[in-house]
Chain A
Amino acid sequence: EVQLVESGGGPVKPGGSLRLSCEASGFTLSSYNMHWVRQAPGKGLEWVSSSTIMSSYFYYAASVTGRFAVSRDNAKNSLYLYMNNLGIEDTGVYYCARDCGGACRNYWNFDVWGRGTLVTVSS
């Protein structure tokens, strides 16, 4: 079964750091572009970051540029999101998502999602 499982969320104080992990199973993560999408409580979806195949390129939303970093460990079939200098506005559920790729005629379509991990930034 194709699956993504996030971990690493939890409470953190403003200015703190966290590392989120996303472990893939049922497919080879290195063959896909991968993404992080977040959702603040009661709000809509916001794209956060992307890692292309072979880690050739990394992309970030303006709201996290300079504070977040994405990486992947293909040997562990895992994706990571390093989050620094966290603010209250970073609170939310963070989803890891797989890019559908050519099967969806174009990139930037997310066909497999994890269940998410909750990050709570509060003093």
Chain B
Amino acid sequence: DIQMTQSPSSVSASVGDTVTIACRASQGIGPWLAWYQQKPGTAPKLLIYAASNLHNGVPLRFSGSGSGTDFTLTISGVQPEDSGTYYCQQANSFPRFGQGTRVEVK
């Protein structure tokens, strides 16, 4: 099984900051990584697929990069509505999610 490890587990940022979340796969998965945002009490939302492709309607301040085993989600100019938990998910085979990164925007 491919294991996914995210860091940090939580981050606190001020409005306008740049937030970076890392995700590492236990073995190479090519570009097949997705990122999701989840707010309390709601379902996850797809942000990015294939490591760097923005899903429909996702603000341009979100971006993704990486390939193989190391990936990054960047929020440039974070906004209050970006608070929530972010999950990476390998999409190379049977899905496996990272443990999540909680983002608090003050």
Which residues of A are interface residues toward B (Cβ below 8 A)?
Answer: 35, 37, 44-47, 50, 59, 61, 95, 100, 104-111, 113-116
Contact = CB atoms under 8 A, between A and B. Distances in A.
Contacts, number: 74
B49 interface: yes
Interface in B78-95: 87, 89-95
A55 to B, nearest CB: 18
A45 B44 contact: yes
Contact of B91 (A37, A46, A61, A109): A109
A47 B95 contact: yes
Contact of A114 (B43, B50, B53, B100): B43
Interface residues on B, range: 20 to 34
B7 interface: no
Nearest to A46: B97
B106 to A, nearest CB: 23
A111 B92 CA distance: 16
B65 interface: no
B45 interface: yes
Contacts of B42: 115
Interface of B: 32, 34, 36, 38, 42-46, 49-50, 53, 55, 87, 89-100
Contacts of A110: 34, 36, 44, 46, 89, 95
6 contacts: A44-B87, A45-B87, A104-B46, A105-B53, A108-B91, A111-B55
Contact of A100 (B49, B87, B94, B100): B49
Contacts of B89: 45, 108-110
B53 to A, nearest CB: 7
Nearest to B45: A113
Contacts of B53: 104-105
Nearest to B99: A44
A44 B93 contact: no
B43 A106 contact: no
A35 B32 CA distance: 17
A72 to B, nearest CB: 19
